[in-house]
Every structure is written in C-alpha cells, then in structure tokens.
Amino acid sequence: MAKKIQSIKGFYDVPPQRQKLWRFMESKILSVLDQYSYQEIGLPMLESTDLFTAGVGTHTDIVEKEMYSWTDPLNNDDLTLRPEGTAGCVRAVIEGSLTYNGPIKLFYRGPMFRHENVQKGRQRQFHQVGVEAFGYSDASSDAEQILLLKRLWKSLGLNKIELQLNTIGDPTDRELYRKALIDYFEKNKSILDDDAQRRLYENPLRILDSKNPKMQDMLNNAPKLKDFISKDGLLHFDMLRSILDNHGVEYRLNDRLVRGLDYYNRTVYEFVTSDLGSQGTIAGGGRFDYLVEKLGGGNTPACGFAIGLERILLLLETKEITHQINPDIYILNLGHEARGNAFNIAELLRDHNFKITVNLDGASFKSQMKKADKSGAKIALILGDEEVVKKSIKIKLLREEVSQEDILQENLLSYLKGIK
C-alpha cells in the first residue's frame, strides 16, 4: 500500500459543510464592506522579507519567531509568506500611487502564515479580511471602522463581543513612555520572567501584554501611557470616544492594550469574545499614520483592522449558527435516454439561474427520491424513458403536501417561474 500523505501541521482543509458556513460568513462581510464603500484590492502572498522587518518591526514576535522566510536559490532574493496584510497593502498603495487622487478605502482577503503553536483558533495558515483607509487623519475614520465592525457582528447574529479600546499616542510620546518603563522595570528586574527580560531594552511595551500571574501586581503599578500622551493625541482619543458614545457603542478602556505590531499609533482596539477561550480576539486594529512614510511613501495618515475568519467561523459554530446552500431542483432520472434528457433540462434551467442537482448514480427510484428529499431541494423533476418519448416531465413539490403533476417539457420553464 502506498504511503498516506498527511496535511502539514497547522495547515488544514475546510470540508464542504464547513465551507458553506464560510461562504455565508464572507458574503455578510462583503455586504457590509460595500455599505461603507470599501474597494477590494488583490495582494500577493509572497513579499520581500525587508517589507515585514521594516514595517512590522524587528523586535516583534512575528518577525523574530513566526515568519516563514527563506532565500530564493534562483535569484538570491529574501522572501517571506505574508504573516499579516497591512504592510503589503501599504506597499501596493505606494507602488501604485493609489492615493494620488485623494483618500482611498481598501480591503483585501486571503491566507496569512505564521509559525505559531497550533491550538484551537490558532493555525499556521489562517485567513483574514483586512480593511484599511488611507488619507484620513480625523478620529471619525477610526469611529467609522468600529461602527462597521459592530454592524458586521449584528449581521452575523453575534453578540456578547466586547470592544476594548486604548490610545498609545505618537512615536514621540511612546519614546518618553519607553524610557519610563525601562526605568521602572529595571527597579523590578527580579520579578521579570525570561521573556520580559529579553524584551526589556528592545520592546518594553510588549511586557505589558504578559499573562504571567507572578508579574501582574508589578504590571498593574507600572507607569501609565496616558500620562505621556500629547494634548493632540488626547483630543483625538476624546473625539473618538465622543462619537462612539453618541452611537451607543459600549467599550472598555484597557490601558495595557498595545497590539503586537510596531506600526500602530494613537487608537488601538480589539473585539474580544469569552466564548473561544484564550483565543478570544476576533478582530483588532488601530491607526498607523507613519507606516506609509516609513516604507518609502509620502506623509499619509491611515487606519485599519483585520478580522480573523477562522475565529469568526468557530464562534458561529459555537453559537450553532448554520447556513445551507441547497439546490432549487433535484432531477431524478431512470434509464439511459432519461439521463441525457435530464442533462439537457438541467443546462436549460441553469441558464435561468436555477441551482440544479442531477442524480448521477443510476439508483432505484426510491433511493433517488430519498436523496432528493435529503438534498434540501424544494422541487423534484422526474424523468423516465416514457417521459422522454412523450416529451413530458413529472413535477413533485417536496416541501408541500400536493400531488405531483405531469406537464410537457416545453412548458416547464414557465411553470417553474410561476412557483419560484
């Protein structure tokens, strides 16, 4: 027997039944994005490694430990499978001069890749929808994206999702805060675990994310970023909160929320559910006003977020939200001539946007009828050699208690349109 080849750890298949729910989820997301006038942009999965080291940050977990990177032996290029989408979107905006005519609102979707510890809700290939607005500096653009996400949760039938909100200021604010944190952590160095000590001089803000229970009292007494934020930064945050308050959006201020990517400034936020355990963040984002310039473009304010599709799917399944994509019509056929006739009728009906399943296994009439009922179709069309000779067809409404009818095939389309 040949060796059975398994999927790679952290990379998975989406079986048909789950894919139906995935399509439902994506359709809701695309519909809401249309309501807010976002345009889709297609981005490559493979980028120059330099894009992520410069854009995401050399001292982030993503760049240090999680990227799938290699040197292409054919031309010696350093390449990386994208671990996130914002850096690639910014590159595309710069390369294509997409803000030449003014601000632009974009979204993209597809797989991302990180070499993470595999667990429920965390895979090494995962899918995101990323949403980015370029050229908007006002807090109203931050607020609109949060309102978009609130509308999306409602559209998907999801509730009990908490919005956590913070402001992390601008780079000058954070540099002052960084120095204060280093000074504080140095005085408490004996409490820091190995990971925190490694981050101490490289990225001390990420120490605030630690879940180590032995460090929590010390972290709770650490200097607060809000005490270092400029007047303009505080006004921006106050405006955002005012807009959210006016729209009745509930949120919790979390002064330890900093996000794991170095490009963020001012607003950061996450939408979190308690129904997925430790992997409860289903969307997160904020402002990245300095990233376009950092990657070689002009001074371009921007904000955006990403949605984790696998986690949304898990949440839909947890709440037993299902979606079926059923055929409109199931065609039963008995005999060789009937099979050919069934194909002709099916193609005609598909030309008129009916979803059709033709039985292809040649089973008995009783077996085919069971499959028709199980398919979820509302209508069964029945063809035998007798119907082929008479150019007729039997029609049975599967979800109604009515007798089946026998009509001429030439009248079938008008009959179906009358009951659709």
In this predicted structure, what is the pLDDT of residue 234?
Answer: 94
Domain boundary among 286, 318, 350: 318
Question: Is 77 in the same domain as 160?
Answer: yes
Domain residue limits at 367: 329-419
Between CA 227 and CA 220 the distance in angstroms is: 15
Mean pLDDT of 352-375: 89
Question: Is 308 in the same domain as 405?
Answer: no
Percent of the chain with pLDDT over 90: 56
In this predicted structure, what is the pLDDT of residue 420?
Answer: 62
Question: Is 57 in the same domain as 153?
Answer: yes
pLDDT band, residue 74 (cuts 50/70/90): very high
Helix-then-strand count for the chain, H and E: 15, 16
Domain boundary among 318, 352, 376: 318
Question: Is 111 in the same domain as 141?
Answer: yes
Question: Is 308 in the same domain as 358?
Answer: no
Of residues 80 and 261, the one with the higher pLDDT is 80
260, pLDDT greater than 70: no
What are the pLDDT digits (tens) for 7-58? 999 999 988 888 989 999 999 999 999 999 999 999 999 999 999 999 887 7
- DSSP-derived letter for residue 411 is G
pLDDT band, residue 190 (cuts 50/70/90): confident
Residues 6 or more apart whose Cβ sits within 8 Å of residue 237: 139, 167, 229, 266, 267
What are the pLDDT digits (tens) for 208-236? 878 888 889 888 889 888 889 999 999 99
Question: Is 313 in the same domain as 340?
Answer: no
In this predicted structure, what is the pLDDT of residue 322?
Answer: 67
Report how many domains make up the chain. 2
Between CA 40 and CA 403 the distance in angstroms is: 49
Structure token digits, residue 372 = 């028709």
319, pLDDT greater than 80: no
Widest Cα–Cα separation across the chain: 94
80-84, 206-210, 405-409: the lowest-pLDDT one: 206-210
What are the pLDDT digits (tens) for 124-155? 999 999 999 999 999 999 999 999 999 999 99
- Whether 180 maps to a domain, the answer reads no
Dihedrals phi, psi of 177, to nearest 5 degrees: -65, -40
- Residue 312 belongs to domain with CATH number: 3.30.930.10
Of residues 83 and 400, the one with the higher pLDDT is 83
Instruction: Give the pairing of strands 356-358 and 125-134.
Output: unpaired
Mean pLDDT of the chain: 90
- Residue 380 belongs to domain with CATH number: 3.40.50.800
Question: Is 90 in the same domain as 154?
Answer: yes
For residue 236, the one-letter residue type is H
Question: Is 335 in the same domain as 392?
Answer: yes
